[in-house]
């Protein structure tokens, strides 16, 4: 088998941890597999580099930022190769450029355009473990680029695709994707498998296992990958295309996002273009708006409506400024901002074929005395905004309803058997 | 003018120092020059990387060592470019590979084989200061290499040659080459100019301004360069080919090397091949032998001789081991090792045309009551081994004789005028 393994910044955070990672790689190799390893910068290294850059320039040039940051992963590949050598495992390190990862010219958030993996194949054929620097590539003109947040995951998945790997492991500090955050729901179970779309909705709903773009890339290129722990050899959670059997499961997981704030513009005159105006201003201010709810108008002479939306808590001051500037133009009555909210979401491709999921969710919350402030739905996700204080209690209750009682979701061993 | 400037690890040791270096570069550029800058790793960075490598492998693989160490200079080039940007100076950084520095395949001590400076020219033509990572290059197969000790100086001089630069500045923490170490001889004067061969002999004699290989490279390719300080704008010392006027000066400088030890094999049977045998063994143990003195044999039946040589103090334990192993074969009577020696040398191309230099040196030492233990001469250098304790007193006396009294050497302002 050709296996691509990715190890993140905390897995390779110290020379001692790199040793552990090397032992894990050696174990896989001793089973006769060909291994390509993708590593991130050691935890803390990137921040140090950023700090130095900021003492020299408030807004450092992005081309040079990429030259600077790329050293982080380059350090890790060399150290990982050395650690493998001391276990008598032949290994060769490659920078993103050397590994043939070609990107566009958008520094600090480049997109992979092509991979020419001849070097990797050549080193694999010679019996080497090949260690590739994640997060980086080069343009066709030879400039060093970096891929932005989640870039190392992307490198691993793109390489798995280009190499036609049999398995791609995204090693993290959790051992898979869970039905809920185990810190909130002690009964949460690790999932045996999950569909790309479910993974994407979970990420959007605040479950930060992986950045969405890597999952999107995997979906577009059909790369099956496993989210697993670098600390054990459990199979983790397989992320793959939707299969018929996945629809038997109504919902795959429940998440709670505590990092959002709700903004309501009260009594906005209901004229065409009003909503467009405000969200365009938000976009220009680089504020990411998540849920948007607008109700029907009330009032006969000058119809007005309440417009609510959620944003990242950190963006609230900026949003208040934007809204203040629009006051004369928009003629809303007042603004109510609420930071004490939680966004609870349930996700599952099974929703499509099972009716009554929303009703069951609302019932569950109601029976716990939890008020719903906003609702938003997609084909495979339902999100509700509730009081932050009741967020954990609500998550536990919803998990019980959908993921424990009556075993709506197949238990993990059963999933493992059906794989 | 096209100027190549090299800044070493202490000149760029902190972000604050990088700022100072950027200001200096900006000043030169504001005079209308094109500037190519070569930088080393920030002081301490290379040692940190080496420490990490050693925790992972006692003898780290040299290819991977190069991948690791090359990150040091890559960090500096990016930060230096950023510092220039914040002064509104357009600048682009290039790794050794990007700058077109092609080396052989000998990792950790590669030799430059070719430079294809198209990228540098292109960026210069666009008005940029070009910042090149010193100490590194790549093989024709795209492997990262490093050049070994003094590698950044070599990068600068090789680039100056390939680019046909008008001036090459090696910026250090001293402001030029002195007639003697000013810490020993307060009257020491900075030299206006010095010949390559004199510079080489000074380096060999323990004046560690630059590694010999960079000076040799400059000599072979006729690259005129200046040794100057990154802290001021003084012209420094020009290192160039020998000129007729240089011979007017009897000696250029005096040095004292306190880091050598003297080893004497007493009563070695005087058979052919004996000296060859011992120095071959030294070479195999990577011990660098400097001075060698063998006197005529004494004894009629079994002629024997005393063989003395000097080595780095640090190599003494290793040398004793080598000599011990050869005892049966060599049949020397005993070994005397002496760490309390100093090697005093005087250097100057003028020696060739001035007679009596050696006599004057010996007279000077004798009049100070200093005993000479070993003597070794080259065409432009005389070295003597003396008691370590008397080394500084001897250096001062010799400096007075040759470089102060009677103004045997032109004073610096006069040299500056004749340039």
Q: Give phi and psi for A418, each to the nearest 5.
A: -80, -10
Cross-chain residue pair A82–B18, CB shorter than 8 Å: no
Contact A165, A73 (CB under 8 A): no
Q: A221-224: long-range contacts at Cβ-Cβ below 8 A with a sequence spacing of 24 or more?
A: A221/A157, A221/A158, A221/A161, A222/A161, A223/A157, A223/A160, A223/A161, A223/A168, A224/A167, A224/A168
* Four-CA torsion A66, A68, A69, A71, nearest 10 degrees: 120
- Three-state DSSP class for B246? helix
Q: Which of B216, B187, B191 is nearest to B203 (CA)?
A: B216
What tokens were used for B261? 């030890």
Give the tens place of pLDDT for each residue, A13-49: 999 999 999 999 999 999 999 999 999 999 999 999 9
Contact A398, A344 (CB under 8 A): yes
Q: What is the mean pLDDT of residues A389-393?
A: 96
pLDDT band with cut points at 50, 70 and 90 for residue B277: confident
CA–CA distance, A400 with A403 (Å, rounded to integer): 6
Contact B232, B188 (CB under 8 A): no
In this model, does residue A131 exceed pLDDT 90? yes
Mutation site for A-interface testing, chosen from B65, B75, B92 by largest number of A Cβ within 10 Å: B75
Give the tens place of pLDDT for each residue, B77-86: 999 999 999 9
Q: What is the pTM of this model?
A: 0.86
CA–CA distance, A181 with A158 (Å, rounded to integer): 28
Give the tens place of pLDDT for each residue, A259-305: 999 999 998 887 778 888 889 999 999 898 999 888 776 766 777 88
| pLDDT value of residue B152 | 96
Q: Which option is the CATH number for A2-173: 1.10.645.10, 3.20.20.70, 3.40.1160.10, 3.40.50.720?
A: 3.40.1160.10
Contact B227, B172 (CB under 8 A): yes
C-alpha pair distances (Å), A88 with each of A15, A121, A292, B56, B186: 17, 21, 57, 12, 56
pLDDT band with cut points at 50, 70 and 90 for residue B412: very low
Q: Tell me the torsion sign for CA atoms B365, B367, B373, B377.
A: positive
Sheet architecture: strand order including A334-338? A289-294, A304-312, A260-269, A334-338
Contact B25, B5 (CB under 8 A): yes
Give the tens place of pLDDT for each residue, B361-405: 999 999 999 999 999 988 999 999 999 999 999 999 999 999 996
Percent of chain B topping pLDDT 90 = 77
Report DSSP state, residue B43: T
Give the tens place of pLDDT for each residue, A164-185: 999 999 998 888 999 999 999 9
CA–CA distance, B173 with B6 (Å, rounded to integer): 12
| pLDDT value of residue A116 | 96
Q: DSSP string covering B89-148, please? A: --EEEE-TTTTTEEE-S-TTS--EEEE-THHHHHHHHTT-EEEEETTEEE-TT--EEE--
In this model, does residue B409 exceed pLDDT 50? no
Residue B65 sits at the chain A interface (C-beta within 8 Å)? yes
CA–CA distance, B341 with A33 (Å, rounded to integer): 60
Which of A:144-163 have CB within 8 Å of B?
Answer: 144
CA–CA distance, A18 with A39 (Å, rounded to integer): 10
For B145, residues 6+ apart whose C-beta sits below 8 A from its C-beta are B66, B96, B103, B104, B105, B106, B107, B110, B136, B137, B138, B139
Cross-chain residue pair B64–A57, CB shorter than 8 Å: no
Q: Which of A384, A141, A407, A387 is nearest to A251 (CA)?
A: A407
- Among A15, A67, A79, the residue with its CB nearest the CB of B77 is A67
User: Å from B131 to nearest chain A CA?
Assistant: 11
Cross-chain residue pair A75–B68, CB shorter than 8 Å: yes
Chain centre to alpha carbon of residue A291: 18
Chain A hits for B71, CB-CB cut-off 8 Å, are 71, 74-75, 78
Q: Which of B409, B112, B72 is nearest to B253 (CA)?
A: B409
- Among B18, B56, B79, the residue with its CB nearest the CB of A15 is B56
For B252, residues 6+ apart whose C-beta sits below 8 A from its C-beta are B179, B191, B194, B195, B198, B202, B347, B348, B349, B350, B409
For B300, residues 6+ apart whose C-beta sits below 8 A from its C-beta are none
What CATH architecture applies to the domain A243-419?
Answer: 2-Layer Sandwich (3.30)
CA–CA distance, A191 with A254 (Å, rounded to integer): 12
What tokens were used for B111? 């030799």
| pLDDT value of residue B208 | 78
Helix axes A15-30, B45-56, angle to 10 degrees: 40
Q: Give phi and psi for A401, each to the nearest 5.
A: -60, -50
Q: Which of B53, B3, B6 is nearest to B29 (CA)?
A: B3
CA–CA distance, A177 with A161 (Å, rounded to integer): 22
Tell me the β-bridge partners of A38. Answer: A6, A132
| pLDDT value of residue A300 | 64
CA–CA distance, A176 with B238 (Å, rounded to integer): 65
CA–CA distance, B281 with B277 (Å, rounded to integer): 6
Q: Among B8-22, B197-211, B316-330, where is mean pLDDT lowest?
A: B197-211
- Among B60, B70, B82, the residue with its CB nearest the CB of A56 is B82
- Among A68, A74, A75, the residue with its CB nearest the CB of B78 is A68
- Three-state DSSP class for A136? strand
Closest chain A residue to the Cα of B76, Cα to Cα: A68
CA–CA distance, A396 with B44 (Å, rounded to integer): 52
User: Å from B281 to nearest chain A CA?
Assistant: 30
| pLDDT value of residue A406 | 57
Q: Which of A246, A243, A224 is nearest to A235 (CA)?
A: A224
- Three-state DSSP class for B178? strand
What tokens were used for A363? 């019932």
Mutation site for B-interface testing, chosen from A22, A37, A63, A68 by largest number of B Cβ within 10 Å: A68
For B96, residues 6+ apart whose C-beta sits below 8 A from its C-beta are B70, B73, B132, B133, B134, B135, B136, B137, B138, B144, B145, B155
Q: Is the ipTM beyond the 0.90 threshold?
A: no
| pLDDT value of residue B405 | 66
User: Å from A159 to nearest chain B CA?
Assistant: 20
Q: Which of B296, B292, B285 is nearest to B324 (CA)?
A: B285
Q: Do domains B2-173 and B243-419 have the same CATH topology?
A: no
Domain limits, chain B: 2-173, 243-419
Contact B122, B183 (CB under 8 A): no
Contact B113, B152 (CB under 8 A): no
Q: Which of B280, B308, B287, B317 is nearest to B383 (CA)?
A: B308
Q: DSSP string covering B206-237, please? A: T-TTS-HHHHHHHHHHT--EEEEETTS----E
Q: Using alpha carbons only, how large is chain A's radius of gyration in Å?
A: 24
Cross-chain residue pair A56–B83, CB shorter than 8 Å: yes
| pLDDT value of residue B24 | 96
In this model, does residue A412 exceed pLDDT 50? no
Contact B90, B127 (CB under 8 A): yes
Residue B21 sits at the chain A interface (C-beta within 8 Å)? no
CA–CA distance, B252 with B380 (Å, rounded to integer): 10
| pLDDT value of residue B72 | 97
Helix (H) or strand (E) holding B253: strand B253-257
What tokens were used for A332? 């809303």
pLDDT band with cut points at 50, 70 and 90 for residue A413: very low
Give the tens place of pLDDT for each residue, B134-186: 999 999 999 999 999 889 999 999 999 999 999 999 998 888 999 999 999 99
Q: Which range is most confident: A72-81, B165-174, B233-242?
A: A72-81
Chain centre to alpha carbon of residue B358: 25
Please, where are the H alpha helices in A285-411?
316-325, 327-330, 357-367, 391-399
pLDDT band with cut points at 50, 70 and 90 for residue B132: very high
| pLDDT value of residue B418 | 35
| pLDDT value of residue B300 | 64
User: Å from A136 to nearest chain B CA?
Assistant: 14
Contact B173, B40 (CB under 8 A): no
Helix (H) or strand (E) holding B256: strand B253-257
CA–CA distance, A40 with B71 (Å, rounded to integer): 15
What tokens were used for A132? 């590739």
Q: Tell me the torsion sign for CA atoms A312, A313, A316, A318.
A: negative
| pLDDT value of residue B396 | 97
CA–CA distance, A254 with B184 (Å, rounded to integer): 76
Tell me the β-bridge partners of B293. Answer: B308
Mutation site for B-interface testing, chosen from A78, A80, A107 by largest number of B Cβ within 10 Å: A78
């Amino acid at each position: 088998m050709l296996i691509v393994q990715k190890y993140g910044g905390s897995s390779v955070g110290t020379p001692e941890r790199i040793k552990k990672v090397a032992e894990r790689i050696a174990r896989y190799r001793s089973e006769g597999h060909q291994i390509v390893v993708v590593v991130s910068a050691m935890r803390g290294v990137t921040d140090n580099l950023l700090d130095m850059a900021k003492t020299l320039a408030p807004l450092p040039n992005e081309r040079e930022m990429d030259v600077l940051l790329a050293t982080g992963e380059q350090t890790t590949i060399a150290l990982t190769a050395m650690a493998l050598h001391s276990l008598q495992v032949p290994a060769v390190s490659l920078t993103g450029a050397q590994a043939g990862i070609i990107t566009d010219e958008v520094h600090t958030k480049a997109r992979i355009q092509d991979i020419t993996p001849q070097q990797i194949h050549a080193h694999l054929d010679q019996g080497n473990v090949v260690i590739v620097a994640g997060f980086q590539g080069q343009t066709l003109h030879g400039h060093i680029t970096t891929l932005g947040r989640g870039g190392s995951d992307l490198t691993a998945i793109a390489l798995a695709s280009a190499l036609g790997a049999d398995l791609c492991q995204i090693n993290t500090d959790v051992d898979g994707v869970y039905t809920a955050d185990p810190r909130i729901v002690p009964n949460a179970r690790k999932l045996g498998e999950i569909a790309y779309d479910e993974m994407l909705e979970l990420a959007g709903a605040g479950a930060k296992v992986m950045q969405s773009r890597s999952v999107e890339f995997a979906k577009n290129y059909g790369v099956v990958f496993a989210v697993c722990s670098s600390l054990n050899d459990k199979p983790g959670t397989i992320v793959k295309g939707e299969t018929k059997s996945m629809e038997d499961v109504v919902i795959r997981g429940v998440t709670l996002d505590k990092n959002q704030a709700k903004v309501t513009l009260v009594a906005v005159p209901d004229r065409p273009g009003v909503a467009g105006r405000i969200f365009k201003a938000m976009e220009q201010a680089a504020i990411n708006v998540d849920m948007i709810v607008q109700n029907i108008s009330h009032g006969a002479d000058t119809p007005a409506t309440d417009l609510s939306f959620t944003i990242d808590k950190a963006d609230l001051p900026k949003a208040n400024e934007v809204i203040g500037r629009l006051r004369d133009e928009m003629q809303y009555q007042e603004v109510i901002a609420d930071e004490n909210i939680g966004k609870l979401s349930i996700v599952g491709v099974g929703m499509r074929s099972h009716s009554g999921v929303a009703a069951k969710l609302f019932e569950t919350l109601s029976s716990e005395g939890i008020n719903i402030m906003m609702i938003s739905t997609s084909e495979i996700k339902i999100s509700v905004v509730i009081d932050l204080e009741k967020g954990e209690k609500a998550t536990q209750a919803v998990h019980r309803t959908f993921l424990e009682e009556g075993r709506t979701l197949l238990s993990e061993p059963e999933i493992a058997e059906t794989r």
